[in-house]
Structure 1
Amino acid sequence: MGMYVGVRGWLEFAQEQRAAVEEVLAAHRHDPYSDGWSVPVRPFNWTLYVSYGGDVRESSVDWLRSQVAELARLRDSEGDAPAGFFLLTDERERATAWFVKDGAVREGAAPAGF
């Protein structure tokens, strides 16, 4: 069957980037795991927080990471890239994190306690 990895996290964008975010999400559709993405229905204030939450087969984690990496490369009108954080835990009780900053996704140890 394969192992599952619990993935939860978020990215923050400028509201002006909504269309670009939705294009990336649509271009990389992967049933059923794409349904883990959540984008607010109505914009409010100036920041668009896009979140992900779901249990993903280990074999599909690379698909999700590549999608996060593409989203990380988006730039707003001022040239700023999104920031974000994702926590991944698996059935072997390992925890890792993806840190999104400056247009890149860096993998590292999860904060203590996870």
Structure 2
Amino acid sequence: MGVYLSVRGWLECVDDQERLVWDIVRRHDDDFYSRGWSTLSGPNGDTCVFYCGTIREQATEWFLGKLRDIARIPPPADPADLVRGLFLAHHEQHGMQEWQLRDGGLFVASTGGRYDYLAA
């Protein structure tokens, strides 16, 4: 079979950043795992891009590379308007990690077990 990761999370973006996020998603499209992306716009013009899917362990670096590219999207005007987001990735053998998009980068952190209930 193989080892899998369940990936769930979202990105927050402003103005034209959503289009750039989708450009990156399309550029990395694999016609399978990429189907887990969707968008929701809030009443105040807030835009979130979500991902929900289960990927093979071998696709982890491919997915993280996509997130790194998204994290580097420049802010439209205000330097504080970088894309930011949070993903929880549950690895079948190694447990849960947080994938944080902030400050123009991707940061991987342990969850300390606080989200293990979501893996059940």
Asked if the contact 1:15/1:43 (under 8 Å) is kept, the reply is no
Structure 2 residue 36 is matched with structure 1 residue 26: no
Residues paired across the two proteins, number: 113
Q: 1:62 to 1:6 in 2, by over 3 A?
A: same
The aligned residue for residue 10 of structure 1 is 10
Q: 1:96 to 1:44 in 2, by over 3 A?
A: same
- Deviation, structure 1 residue 103: 0.6
- Deviation, structure 1 residue 97: 1.0
Moved more, 76-85 or 25-34: 76-85
Give the % identical residues: 31
Q: Could you say what the CA RMSD is over the residues aligned between the two structures, in angstroms?
A: 1.7
Residues 79-109 of structure 1 show CA distances to partners (whole Å, capped at 9, x for unaligned) of 3211111101122261111111001001010
2:16 is paired with a residue of what secondary structure? Answer: helix
The aligned residue for residue 52 of structure 1 is 51
AA in 2 matched with 1:59: Q
Structure 2 residue 92 is matched with structure 1 residue 91: yes
Q: 1:21 to 1:2 in 2, by over 3 A?
A: same
Q: 4+ residue stretches of structure 1 with deviation over 4 A?
A: none
The aligned residue for residue 36 of structure 1 is 36
TM-score (norm 2): 0.85
Asked if the contact 1:96/1:109 (under 8 Å) is kept, the reply is yes
Q: 1:113 to 1:21 in 2, by over 3 A?
A: closer
TM-score (norm 1): 0.89
AA in 1 matched with 2:106: V
CA–CA separation in structure 2 for the residues paired with 1:113 and 1:22: 28
The aligned residue for residue 67 of structure 2 is 68
1:69 is paired with a residue of what secondary structure? Answer: helix
Residues 51-103 of structure 1 show CA distances to partners (whole Å, capped at 9, x for unaligned) of 11101000001111110111111122223211111101122261111111001
Asked if the contact 1:13/1:47 (under 8 Å) is kept, the reply is yes
CA–CA separation in structure 2 for the residues paired with 1:90 and 1:20: 28
- Deviation, structure 1 residue 46: 2.5
